[in-house]
Amino acid sequence: MAVIRPFAGIRPCQEKAGKIAALPYDVYNRQEAKKVVEQNPESFLKIDRAETQFEDSVGTYENKVYQRAHDTLWEMVEKGDFVREAKPCYYIYELTMDGRVQTGIAACASIDDYLSGTIKKHENTRAEKEADRICHVDACNAQTGPIFLAYRANAVIRDMVNAKKQETPLYDFVSEDGIRHRVFVIEDEGQIKTIQETFEKIGEIYIADGHHRAASAVKVGLKRRESHPDFTGEEEFNYFLSVLFPDEELMIMDYNRVVKDLNGLSPADFLNKVNDIFEVEKLDSQEKPKEKGQVSMYLDGNWYLLTIKEEDKSNDPVEGLDVSLLQKLLLQPVLGIENPKTDERIDFVGGIRGLGELEKRVSTDCAVAFAMYPTSIGELFGVADAGKLMPPKSTWFEPKLRSGLFIHEI
Sign of CA dihedral 208, 209, 215, 217: negative
Q: How far apart are CA 254 and CA 270, in angstroms?
A: 24
Q: Which residues is 408 bridged to in the sheet?
A: 143
pTM: 0.92
Rg (C-alpha) for the chain, rounded Å, is 22
Residues 6+ apart with CB under 8 A from 132: 60, 61, 216
What are the per-10-residue average pLDDT scores of the chain (410 residues)? 96 97 93 96 97 96 97 98 97 97 98 96 86 96 96 97 97 96 98 97 93 95 96 97 97 96 98 98 97 98 98 97 97 96 93 96 98 96 94 91 97
pLDDT at residue 307, rounded to an integer:
98
Give the Cβ contact number of residue 29 at 10 Å.
9
Q: How far apart are CA 248 and CA 163, in angstroms?
A: 18
Residues 6+ apart with CB under 8 A from 28: 36, 45, 49
Q: How far apart are CA 221 and CA 410, in angstroms?
A: 9
Cα 29 to Cα 36, 52, 330, 355, 366, distances in angstroms? 11, 10, 31, 23, 21
8 Å CB contact between 107 and 2: no
**Helix, strand, coil percentages, rounded to 5, for the chain:** 40, 25, 35
Q: How far apart are CA 146 and CA 9, in angstroms?
A: 12
Q: How far apart are CA 402 and CA 260, in angstroms?
A: 33
Residues 6+ apart with CB under 8 A from 174: 18, 180, 181
Residues 6+ apart with CB under 8 A from 265: 273, 334
pLDDT at residue 20, rounded to an integer:
98
pLDDT at residue 124, rounded to an integer:
83
DSSP one-letter code for 391: P
